[in-house]
Structure 1
Amino acid sequence: MGFQPSRRALLKLAGSSAAGAGILGLGGCATSVSQPIVGGDFDWNEDARAIRKRIVAPTFPSLHVRITDYGAQAGSDNDSTQAIASAIKDVASKGGGTVEVPAGEFYTGPVHLKSNINFHIAKDAVLHFIPEPQRYKPYVFTRWEGTELMGYSPLIYAFEETNVAITGEGTLEGGGSVDNWWPWKGKWKDATWGDHPVANQKYTRDVLRQMAEDEVPVSERTFEENYLRPPFIQPYRCENVLISGVTIRNSPFWLVNPVLCTNVTVRDIYCHSYGPNSDGCDPEACTDVLIENCTFDTGDDCIAIKSGRNADGRRVGKACENILINNCTMEAGHGGVVIGSEISGGVRNLYAQNCEMSSPDLDRAIRIKTNSIRGGHLKNLNYRQFRVGQVKDAVVINFYYEEGDVGNFTPKLEDITIENLYVQHAQRAFVLRGYDHTPITGVSLKNLIFQKVDKKSVIENIDNISQQNIRVNGKTVELPDV
């Protein structure tokens, strides 16, 4: 018998509340999503089990202080930036420990973590990041959409540190809104802002990308007029990173963006941000990453695996590898589990399992996006046990993303496996767009059930796709006749 959805596969009705709705079973009963389904330890794959065993969250000395011990005061009239910095510096000088934001509403500029610091946001605490760009200077070594530069400090940043964490049950509030940060995107959806002649990211972005193509040193990639919004959380070249428990809201840009890090755990976080480029979790050129038990309700991709853009990604030359995704929930977003589009360094060894996703605002479930400018060698990507309620396009592999086929770096796919995927309702089951000179190959599809599909799939230039038990609208089908 083919794949049958379990009771935990039960999916949310279209349009139901993201925060409070239950997951509906095929029998119409509500059930909890708090317990992981089978295979939580990746018992189906030896390599994935080895990766999971290697990934160990950091621990910290017993020293524990509160930012109020260093002068922080709750309330929007009080700036806690210096108090937080003093607490982190003091605890780090004593060998490390926990710096706690206690219950209450606190306001701050950027927070820079040091080695052996657990930055803890307590239950009923809200840490607001003041949306004034000048506070996020002096510039730091950072990445923006896969290109390195000296740019605004991320809201929470660590550079070349070891053993850093952001934990707790509280909330991190980024301050992104129609009035702050987000308008730098330029014209976007039905937003009230338009293309500002100065305060628009494209005027900085285009110059930065050309600098990268011209191999300008990163130290010289700096701008007096900079309109590139900072990410919320960005540990950069760090080892042993933990982000756990917190709610992250209204980010200026990407929410969680570890770059060139090793041994990263992202667990039990809730990402809620509907702004432009509000990706949930984007590990970029990292090694050994676990993303588990998280909920994403975002304005862009929920999880996107990245490794640098174009010439800059190839210059750094670091793949994103050994990525585990387990038991996550995706609601609104451009894509559920995504590869790309800044993927020039390649990606290998992705194991994603036990994810549930559903929303009328979820554009894609599984998505690979690149082109012949970005390129990328994508190898050993594995997806299994996905349950999808409502989605527009279920499985998307697109070699024509944005720029199309105008470059010299043809993407390469190798050993891509999708199995045990159940989709309740999709507009299209597949969008697969390869090149005529380089079709999509290296893909294996097994036990994919699409209960209801409205439109015919878009399938262009595929070759040697392994297929077993694909069912659409109650019928067994084969690509390209879907």
Structure 2
Amino acid sequence: MKQIFKYIILTLFVPALFIKCANNNTQNDPWKTANNIVETIGSISFKDTTYNITKYGAIADGKTLNTSVINAVIEMCSVNGGGTVLVPEGTYLTGAIHFEDSVNLKIDKGATLLFSVDPKDYLPVVKTSWEGIFCYNYSPLIYAYGKKNIALTGEGTVNGMAIPENWWRLKGKTKYGWKEGMESQLDSVGQPLLNQYNKNQTKVEDRQMGEGHYLRPHFIQFFECTNALIEGITVEDSPFWVIHPVLCENLTIRGVTVNSNGPNNDGCDPESCKNVLIENCIFNTGDDCIALKSGRDDDGRAMNRPIENVVIRNCTMKNGHGGVVLGSEISGGCKNIFVENCEMNSPELDRAIRIKTNNNRGGVTENVYIRNLNVGQVKEAIVRINCSYDSKEGQGNFIPTVQNIFISNVQSQKAQMALKLDGLEGENCIKNIHIENCSFNGVKEDNVIKYVESLNLKSVHINDELINESL
């Protein structure tokens, strides 16, 4: 195992800085901050009035479109002071559902909301964020804009019915059903146009996408909402990102199961949110299980709203590109992130912890605390930090910073490598990384560590050999 660190030193091209074992970056226990975040989020309650959608004309045959009925009942509930809109046992077809203030939409046990795969059922367009760029696009399947005290709860299921024959083919890859001659988000009127809007900083209201632009809608998006809860539901087969809160404050996502293995099917992607608790959830996804974001490139810098004060605990990550991921759309910054007591295990899980960014994104990612992870197996690395993610985007002038990362008590059984940390040559973009009391077993290859300043390993075991090193 000495050979591993011989390799590290040879590939470390910034001046090595030896540092003492830090007392967890602060004289105070940072995990007290996590407790304070949870207390700040608190809980929400609703008026003790229930509106059963079947009493207002909803039909549970899986064929009749119930969009107008469900939205009318939600509006009625809100106008009357709020309460619970109940979706009872049965299967209900619907288009876009839009929240109003003080409403708990409860999907009862045995109930399923099936979402139409006709894009016209998600018009007119609404204000959204698509891969960290603001625009007007198809409505998310479940959407709230500027609402307060809202919840999506219950033991039932919401199913986006996305498959290669409908939404997923718009990814533009044959793996997901696309064929030569078909439209896709890669067409000039799709993602390339949106990227140009971002680069030019076109007014958001002039970024009209939707029909004819082939950008898939998100499943659940709360946008600029305060005091929100998503709890207990099962989410299946999303067209795009699954749970995507944007610019929200005081948000809890608890006991949610995500089973969605399509393209860009990230499980939960809070973007530029403050005070977020994600706990007791299960993620089986086609992309990142959880990914924290804060806007892409120019939009992220212009908004300048970090994702901050996030607690992730007691979650299970199965298939996915990463268990807990920060980035890549993280131009607005990321800080005060706490991850603990999670299980990660699947031959189809690429990495456990990942931070991904590049010099188009920029931004500062800092004060990240991770502890008590049980990792069975991953395909690549247990810890992956990449400051040159997605090189096909070309080179920019916005050097990202990743600093003050503290990882402790991680146990893993099988991985290609323990650590893969890639900075940028000539830039101190990765620094002050602490890994302590970890055991990485079944590791096949040496660590890869390039352009990193201030890496401290204490009581780290790789394949049962002890390592105490400061670089």
- Retained in 2: the 8 A contact 1:343–1:374? yes
1:88 counterpart SS class: helix
2:283 counterpart SS class: strand
Deviations 1:280-328 (A, max 9, x none): 0100000000000000000000000000000011111100000000100
Q: Does 1:193 align with 2:178?
A: yes
Q: Does 1:442 align with 2:427?
A: no
Q: 1:227 aligns with which of 210, 214, 221?
A: 214
- Ranges of 4+ aligned residues in structure 1 off by more than 2 Å: 190-203, 477-481
Counterparts in 2 of 1:455 and 1:357: CA distance versus 1, 3 Å: same
Counterparts in 2 of 1:169 and 1:441: CA distance versus 1, 3 Å: same
Query: Which moves more between the two structures, 404-413 or 64-73?
Result: 404-413
**Alpha-carbon shift at residue 193 of structure 1 (Å):** 2.6
Instruction: Give me the whole-angstrom Cα distance separating, in 2, the residues matched to 1:334 and 1:77.
Output: 35
Q: Does 1:310 align with 2:300?
A: no
Query: Which moves more between the two structures, 58-67 or 282-291?
Result: 58-67
Alignment of 1:314-333 (within 5 A): 314-333=301-320
* CA-atom RMSD in angstroms: 1.5
| Counterpart residue number, 1:410 | 399
| Counterpart residue number, 2:408 | 419
**Alpha-carbon shift at residue 195 of structure 1 (Å):** 5.1
Instruction: Give me the whole-angstrom Cα distance separating, in 2, the residues matched to 1:362 and 1:316.
Output: 32
| Counterpart residue number, 2:332 | 345
Amino acid at match of 1:252: P
Counterparts in 2 of 1:97 and 1:201: CA distance versus 1, 3 Å: farther
**Alpha-carbon shift at residue 477 of structure 1 (Å):** 3.1
Figure out how many residues of one structure are paired with residues of the other and give that number: 438
1:464 counterpart SS class: strand
| Counterpart residue number, 1:30 | none
**Alpha-carbon shift at residue 464 of structure 1 (Å):** 1.4
**Alpha-carbon shift at residue 77 of structure 1 (Å):** 2.4
**Alpha-carbon shift at residue 196 of structure 1 (Å):** 4.2
| Counterpart residue number, 1:255 | 242
| Counterpart residue number, 2:12 | none
Q: Percent identity?
A: 44
- Retained in 2: the 8 A contact 1:201–1:228? no
**Alpha-carbon shift at residue 403 of structure 1 (Å):** 2.6
- Retained in 2: the 8 A contact 1:373–1:408? yes
Instruction: Give me the whole-angstrom Cα distance separating, in 2, the residues matched to 1:333 and 1:480.
Output: 32
| Counterpart residue number, 1:68 | 54
Amino acid at match of 1:143: S
Q: Does 1:246 align with 2:236?
A: no
Counterparts in 2 of 1:125 and 1:77: CA distance versus 1, 3 Å: same
TM-score by length of 1: 0.89
| Counterpart residue number, 1:456 | 446
Instruction: Give me the whole-angstrom Cα distance separating, in 2, the residues matched to 1:196 and 1:51.
Output: 50
Q: Does 1:111 align with 2:97?
A: yes
Q: 2:375 aligns with which of 381, 388, 393?
A: 388
| Counterpart residue number, 2:15 | none
| Counterpart residue number, 2:387 | 399
Q: 1:101 aligns with which of 87, 91, 94?
A: 87
Q: Does 1:211 align with 2:188?
A: no
Instruction: Give me the whole-angstrom Cα distance separating, in 1, the residues matched to 2:176 and 2:65.
Output: 30
Counterparts in 2 of 1:356 and 1:196: CA distance versus 1, 3 Å: farther
- Retained in 2: the 8 A contact 1:253–1:278? yes
Q: Does 1:47 align with 2:50?
A: no
**Alpha-carbon shift at residue 459 of structure 1 (Å):** 1.7
**Higher RCO (CA 8 Å, separation ≥ 6 residues):** 2
- Retained in 2: the 8 A contact 1:267–1:294? yes
**Alpha-carbon shift at residue 388 of structure 1 (Å):** 0.1
Instruction: Give me the whole-angstrom Cα distance separating, in 2, the residues matched to 1:191 and 1:258.
Output: 26
| Counterpart residue number, 1:85 | 71
**Alpha-carbon shift at residue 330 of structure 1 (Å):** 0.2
| Counterpart residue number, 1:37 | none
Deviations 1:109-130 (A, max 9, x none): 0000000000000000010001
Unaligned runs of 5+ in 2: 1-28
- Retained in 2: the 8 A contact 1:183–1:200? no
Counterparts in 2 of 1:459 and 1:167: CA distance versus 1, 3 Å: same
Q: Does 1:475 align with 2:461?
A: no
Alignment of 1:7-18 (within 5 A): none
Q: Does 1:429 align with 2:418?
A: yes
Instruction: Give me the whole-angstrom Cα distance separating, in 2, the residues matched to 1:314 and 1:138.
Output: 28
1:62 counterpart SS class: coil
**Alpha-carbon shift at residue 197 of structure 1 (Å):** 4.8
- Retained in 1: the 8 A contact 2:165–2:177? no
Q: 2:362 aligns with which of 357, 360, 375?
A: 375
- Retained in 1: the 8 A contact 2:63–2:92? no
Deviations 1:30-88 (A, max 9, x none): xxxxxxxxxxxxx8722111111101232110110111011000113211111101111
Deviations 1:231-272 (A, max 9, x none): 100000000010000000000001110000000000000000
Instruction: Give me the whole-angstrom Cα distance separating, in 2, the residues matched to 1:391 and 1:480.
Output: 26
Q: Does 1:145 align with 2:131?
A: yes
Instruction: Give me the whole-angstrom Cα distance separating, in 1, the residues matched to 2:267 and 2:187.
Output: 22
